[in-house]
Each structure stands twice: as C-alpha cells, then as structure tokens.
Amino acid sequence: MTSHVKRAFKYRFYPTDAQAAELSRTFGCVRKVYNLALAARTEAWARQERVNYNATSAMLTMWKKTEELAYLSEVSSVPLQQTLRHLQGAFTNFFAKRARYPRFKSKKNSRASAEYTRSAFTFRDGHLTLAKMTEPLDIVWSRPLPEGARPTMVTASRDAAGRWFVSMLCEDPAVKPLPSTGTAVGIDAGLDHLLTLSTGEKIANPRHERRDRARLAKAQRALAKKAKGSANRARARRRVARIHARIADRRRDYLHKLTTRLVRENQTLVIEDLTVRNMVKNGSLARAISDAAWSQFRSLLEYKAAWYGRDVVVVDRFFPSSRLCSTCGALREKMPLSVRTWTCGNCGATHDRDENAARNLKAAGLAVTVCGAGVRPQRSTPGGQSATKQKTSRREP
C-alpha cells in the first residue's frame, strides 16, 4: 500500500465569545507550561543534569496539584502535553547544533497556538469540535479537504492581527511524484529581479512591502503616540498587525504559485546557499532582502520538490557564480556590484550578470548530481573577502 503525504490544510474560522475565551485560556496555559518546563530544564542544565520529556510531563502533573497553578487543569491537557513535546524537539535540535537554545515565550507576543491530537477533537460531517467546547468551529472552507480525509492533528491559532485559524493535518493522496521532465534550471536570487533563471527568464520582484509602505508608516506613527497599556494602543497595534498580515499573505501567495510552477516544470532545481541572516545586517538593503523572502522561497521549493519527486541542489555560497564566465570558464578577479553586464576578457562573450550566474549555478548543480550527493562546489577564498554575496547594486528607497 502506497503511503500518502501528510499535508496541512489551513482555514480561517470565527469563534463564538465562549470559544474565543476557552482558546485564549488554553493559549495562556500552553505558554505558561512551556516557560515553566524551559526554566526547569535550564536550571537542571546548569547543574549538569538532563531533564527529558517524561520528567517535564511528571512535573506538569505536580504543577496541576498546586494551588497556584490549579488553573492548568481547567483546559484540555493535550495542548499542554504537546507543548512539552515541542520543547523536547527544540532541545533535540539545539544539542544537534541545528538551532539556538530555546527561548521563553513572551506574554506580549500576540501570536499564540494550541495543538490537539486525535483524542482531543471530533470531526464529523465537516464539523470540527475541539476539547472543552460544546459547539463546532465556524470554519470558512476556502478549499475542500481531500476526499475521505480524517485529520490526525489540529492546530488552532490566533495571529497578531487577531485573526483565528485552524490547521488540519491530513493524508493527501493527490500529492504524488510527477513524471520526470529531464530538465534542469539554475536559479539566481536577486532584488532588481526576484529570480533569474538559466533559461534567461527574469521573474519580477513584486516588492509587496513597498506597496503598503506609506500606509504602514502612518499606522506605526499613530501607534507610537498612544500611551503604553491603553486600549487605544492595543487597537493601533492591531491596525499595524493587519497591514503586516496583508503584506505577508500576498508574499506567501506569490511564492506558492512561483515555486509550484518551477517544481512542475523542472526535474532538477539548482539554487545558491544564501546566508540571509548575515545579509540583512546590511542596513541599506535589510528591508528589501526581508521583503524578497529568499529563505521562505527556498523552504517552499524544497518541500514541494520532495512531494513531487524533484531534486533541489544547493550550491555553496562561496561559489563565484557571478565572476565565472559561463562560456569559457574564465574567472574574473573582481566584480563590483555596479557591474550588471560584463565582457569576458578571455573569449569576448558578453554576459548579463544574473543570467550568467544562473547558468553557472545550473552547471555546478549538474556536476553535483554526477559526482554524488553532498558535494558542494567551492572556491579559494581571498584574504579579507566577505563570506556573503550581495545581490544588487541599487539601494532601496
């Protein structure tokens, strides 16, 4: 029997006052349990002791018996156990050097969520009812679930703009490997154009944040004038959050459509390993780089490629894709950011900087697939040269 891909389907819902109050209590208890468990594990770590999930689960039982934390028993226990599992995963990633040390959850953060396993919800005839609730959620079914799908995990969340969402994890039989196309494409990320492909196609950068920049600035100025802790400040904060949410929604929708198209059309996709975390330290380009969302693009591309049987090859960021002539292979010593087109001094070929980089990435990626997985094209690093490569010569206004 073929195993199906598990896929999350996210929908907006509108809770009743009672449901909103119950979820808000659950969110608060989830945050409290996470922080208590993190503090206990941190103190144990200082004593050079290890505390695992089973130990924190036993602690949760004891906390519920205390007068101070008795309110933890008023909400479903499943989200509380799930947050302890997430904390265990965070420590596993930390010890494996895949992530930083876990941080405490702030009460000021308006984003909140609670995860329910199958024992803590019922789903019948298209109606979802969570534990401790008597009525099903009023969900806006913007798209149908796969036929016959039964959710195995449900996550209820509220974003900073005050919108409520429910995400249902289901098996999706429609997701299966696509027929092989035999084509490969190099993808060079940038700011003037969001992507430049080795085929010569340039994909425009929609600059979603710039479209709402004036509106966002006005809302942020209004927020700054409100007294801290006041109801007016809370309303102003939600106005700012709604603008950010609209920008993020447009960006996510655009990237989903773009990555789906690239994965469907190509068998092998070659990208560069950009260190976005370091690149946003550039004050003049940080806003434009964040708006381009290269990390989100890579994440979407990689999981969709895994779904549909495609290959994503990541070329090392030190590979000189812009300075290498894609015609003869000659390496140019310097390439100022202001140079957008250049002529090879060896063979005389004239190159568009980004197109040339995309073609070189494609060639390097194909070499990786021939030589074996895990190979990363490298270059000799001149003394004092930055490890990150900027992608545009123009400053964002």
Going residue by residue through the chain, which has 397 residues, state the pLDDT in tens, using 9 for 90 and above. Answer: 356 789 999 999 999 999 999 999 999 999 999 999 999 999 998 898 889 999 999 999 999 999 999 999 999 999 999 999 999 999 999 999 999 999 999 987 778 999 999 999 999 988 999 999 999 999 999 999 988 889 999 999 999 999 999 999 999 888 889 999 889 999 998 888 899 999 989 999 999 999 999 999 999 999 999 999 899 999 999 999 999 999 999 999 999 999 999 999 999 999 988 888 778 777 778 888 888 888 999 999 999 999 999 999 998 888 888 888 888 888 887 877 777 887 887 887 888 888 888 998 988 888 876 655 443 443 333 333 333 333 433 333 3
The one catalytic residue among 159, 188, 209, 291: 188
31, 100 contact by CB (below 8 A): no
Q: Name, in order, each residue with C-beta under 8 angstroms of 31's C-beta and a sequence gap of 6 or more.
A: 105, 107, 112
The one catalytic residue among 115, 209, 354, 355: 354
Distance between first and last Cα of the chain: 56
Q: Token digits for 332? A: 């140019």
Q: Token digits for 345? A: 């001094």
Q: Give dist(CA 134, CA 215) in Å, integer.
A: 41
pTM: 0.83
User: Active site includes 188?
Assistant: yes
Provide the β-strand partners of residue 113. Answer: 157
Q: Give dist(CA 136, CA 248) in Å, integer.
A: 29
Closest to 5 (Cα-Cα) out of 170, 143, 150: 170
195, 294 contact by CB (below 8 A): no
Backbone angles phi, psi at 116, to 5 degrees: -120, 125
DSSP assignment, residue 67? S
Closest to 220 (Cα-Cα) out of 230, 233, 208: 233
pLDDT score recorded for residue 167:
97
3-state secondary structure of 109: coil
271, 361 contact by CB (below 8 A): yes
pLDDT score recorded for residue 371:
57
User: Active site includes 354?
Assistant: yes
Q: What is the DSSP string of 140-195?
A: E-SSPPPTT---SEEEEEE-TTS-EEEEEEEEETT--PPPP---EEEEEE-SSEEE
Question: How far is Cα of residue 88 from the mean position of the Cα atoms in its chain?
Answer: 20
Q: Token digits for 67? A: 């007068």
391, 189 contact by CB (below 8 A): yes
The one catalytic residue among 22, 209, 272, 355: 272
pLDDT score recorded for residue 339:
79
